[in-house]
Structure 1
Amino acid sequence: MFRNRELRRFAALFVGIAAVATAVGLALHPAAGGLVLVSAAAFGAVFWGFTRARYRRIAKLSEQIDRVLHQPGQLFISESDEGELSILQSEIAKMVLRIQEQNEALRREKNRLADSLADIAHQLRTPLTSANLTLSLLKNSAGEAERRALLRETEERFLQMDWLITSLLKLSRLDAGIVVFQRERVDVQDLIHTALRPFSIPMELHNIALRVDVPKEAVLWGDKGWLSEAMQNILKNCMESAGDHGSLEIACTDTPLYTEITFRDNGAGIEPEALPRLFDRFYRGKNTDAAGYGIGLALCKTILVRQGGTITAKNHPQGGAVFSIRFPK
């Protein structure tokens, strides 16, 4: 307790004043001197006891903080007494709880990042291995037709890696909060036509029938470029599900409460056990031979949610999958 320099100074000053007052009292009358001495001793004893109790509470508080710092999972237990120390203890308890929550969030984020890096490495390894194998075959191939086929296959693998890396960079930018979405009035018909433009030739080649039913007055608010990106991922998924000679329907419902856009294909639908995890990153379902990397729908959901929208998926009673995008008014 006397390690505190201010307390030592106060004690020295108190003893000096008490000695001078006692001397003056004795000079006036022995009884006055005795009274001053007894009063000074009583006041000193009370102050000593009070100060010692405060220092014990401070030492206990310091011990609790030390346990929290050096023992993971240790809780900070504050007392319910009133006073300045109790207020300080309560504030420290709040701070410790906040730090523990942040540490837990950082730990979860660290584990998620490690899992994501492992998934990314796995996803990149697949086309890289295939490309290396194709290049080895290309090296030993003799026929011109075979060489061209192997070159086309190698080009497809590198295009897959380019798409995967581009999508992962977009997800990273969205997670880091770097992307600033524009909030503008978007015509739904124009938005759907923009999203469909890259698929016009593939749909024609695969003979996929398309039907679009969108009211002329339907609008929503958001970033047109990113919304088109999200829809293209849905369209890509629907086209792969529909296959050759399939069909795709796009409809829009515009109400005073929300604007909803639905995409329906006539494919095999979605496995019931896959529905809860369909928008999870790198999730590809039980069929490991399925096309894709489990990135597109996760990117789509991130884009829509960040702009205040929602996306759901279900199976249609008459067959096929239905994706619904909804933006509240």
Structure 2
Amino acid sequence: MLRSKEIQRCAAVFIAVTAVFTVLAFCVAPLAGVLVLGFAAAVGVLFWRFTAARYRRLADLAEELDRILHEEDRLLVADAEEGELAILQSQLGKLTTRLREQNDALRREKIYLADSLADIAHQLRTPLTSVNLVFTLLKDEPDPARRRALLREGTALLGQMDWLLTTLLKISRLDAGVIELKREPVPLAALVDTAAEPLRIPLELHDIALNVQLSPDAAWLGDRLWLAEAVRNILKNCMEHTPDGGRIAVECDDNPLFTALTIHDSGPGFDESELPHLFDRFYRGKGGGAGYGIGLALAQSIIARQGGTVTAKNAPEGGAVFVVRFEK
């Protein structure tokens, strides 16, 4: 305690003041000098004990904080006393709790990042292996028609990898919050038309009917291009799971509370065990399939970032149903 410069200065001032008043008191009367000296001694002892007690509490608090730094499961619990030290202890308790929460969040993010990198490497390994095989065959293939077929196959594989990396980049930018999304009215009719435009040829090739029945006044508030990306990924998922000659119905429920877009396909629907995981990244269901399992994850990220929700379920009459809902 005596190593504290504040205590040293305080003690020096106290001794100097006591000496001055003691000398003056003795000049007036010896008894007065004794009384002043006794009073000063009593005040000094009380000050010393009070200060020592405060320093012991500070030392105990510092020791407790040191234990918290080295023992993850400890919590700094404030006592029931009042005063500056109790307030300080309470605030430090809140700080350590917040730091522990942030540390846990960072640990989870590191685990998630490691898992994501492993998933990305796994997803890219298959098309990369296929591309390598295609170019190996292409090098030794003399038939021009076969060479053109191999080139088309290699180009398609490179296109798949480009789509995968682009989609993963979009998800990462959404998670990081670096994308500035617009807030403007987006009519659902125009939105669905924009989202479905790149899918019209494959829909026609597979003879899948797209039936759109939307209110002309129905609209969401958000970023038109990103919302179109989300709806397109949902439509694409429905198209991939709808048999040839099937249909996809798009309807809306527009009321004073919310505006919901419902997309219903005539495919086999989902296994009940898959429903909780449909929007997980890289989840491809029990049957695997040709997709990468990130289209629905991207759709959910886009919709959630703009204040909406997306859910999936099985229709009673069969088929998958996606519902995208925005509150008004």
TM range (shorter): over 0.9
Q: Distance in 2 between matches of 1:219 and 1:16?
A: 81
Aligned to 1:123: 123
SS across alignment from 2:241: helix
> Which residue does the alignment assign to 2:241?
241
**Counterpart of 2:253?**
253
Letter of the structure 2 residue corresponding to residue 178 of structure 1: V
- Structure 1: runs of 5 or more not aligned: none
Give how far 1:14 is off.
2.0
Name the TM-score, length of structure 2 as normaliser.
0.95
- Summarize the alignment of residues 298-317 of structure 1 with structure 2, pairs less than 5 Å apart: 298-317=297-316
Give distance in 1, aligned partners of 2:248 and 2:9. Answer: 87
For 2:203, the equivalent position in structure 1 comes to 203
**CA-to-aligned-CA distance 1:55-95 (integer Å, 9 cap, x gap):** 11111111122222333333212222111111122112112
Count of residue pairs the alignment pairs up: 328
String of CA shifts for 1:242-263, please: whole Å, max 9, x gaps. Answer: 1322221111222222212111
Cα shift at 1:43:
1.3
| Partner amino acid, structure 2, of 1:265 | D
Which segment is superposed worse, 234-243 or 87-96?
87-96
What residue is the counterpart of 1:108 in the other structure? 108
Q: How does 1:138-177 map to 2 (within 5 A)?
A: 138-177=138-177
Q: Identity of paired residues, percent?
A: 56
Residues 95-114 of structure 1 show CA distances to partners (whole Å, capped at 9, x for unaligned) of 22111111111111111111
Counterparts of 1:35 and 1:189, CA distance in 2 = 96
CA distance in 2, matches of 1:140, 1:246: 42
Q: What is the alpha-carbon distance in structure 1 between the residues aligned to residue 233 and residue 95 of structure 2?
A: 43
How far does the alpha carbon of each residue in 1:183-210 deviate from its partner, in whole angstroms, 9 at most, with x for none? Answer: 1122211111111111111111111122
Shift in Å, 1:119:
0.8
CA distance in 2, matches of 1:138, 1:123: 24
Q: Deviating runs (4+, > 4 A) in structure 1? A: none
Q: CA RMSD in A?
A: 1.6
CA distance in 2, matches of 1:64, 1:77: 10
* In 1, Cα distance between equivalents of 2:259 and 2:24: 92
Distance in 2 (alpha carbons) for counterparts of 1:224 and 1:20: 83
Match of 1:5 in 2: 5
Map of 1:209-248 to 2, 5 A cutoff?
209-248=209-248
Give the stretch that moved more between structures: 277-286 or 142-151.
Answer: 142-151
Aligned position for 1:326: 325
Select between 69-78 and 179-188 the one with higher mean Cα deviation.
69-78
Partner of 2:292: 293
**What are the residue-to-residue correspondences of 1:58-69 with 2, within 5 Å?**
58-69=58-69
Give per-residue Cα distances to partners, 1:2-27, cap 9 Å, x unaligned.
Answer: 10112112212322333343334344
Cα separation, 2, equivalents of 1:102 and 1:299 = 26
Structure-2 residue corresponding to 1:34: 34
User: Which amino acid in the other structure matches residue 323 of structure 2?
Assistant: S
Shift of 1:116: 0.9
Q: Measure how far apart 1:241 and its partner are.
A: 0.5
SS at match of 1:242: coil
Give the drift of 1:291.
1.3
Distance 1:28 1:212, change over 3 A: closer
In structure 2, what is the equivalent of residue 187 of structure 1?
187
Mark the CA change 1:245 to 1:30 in structure 2 (over 3 Å): closer, same or farther.
Answer: same
Unmatched 5+ residue regions in structure 2? Answer: none
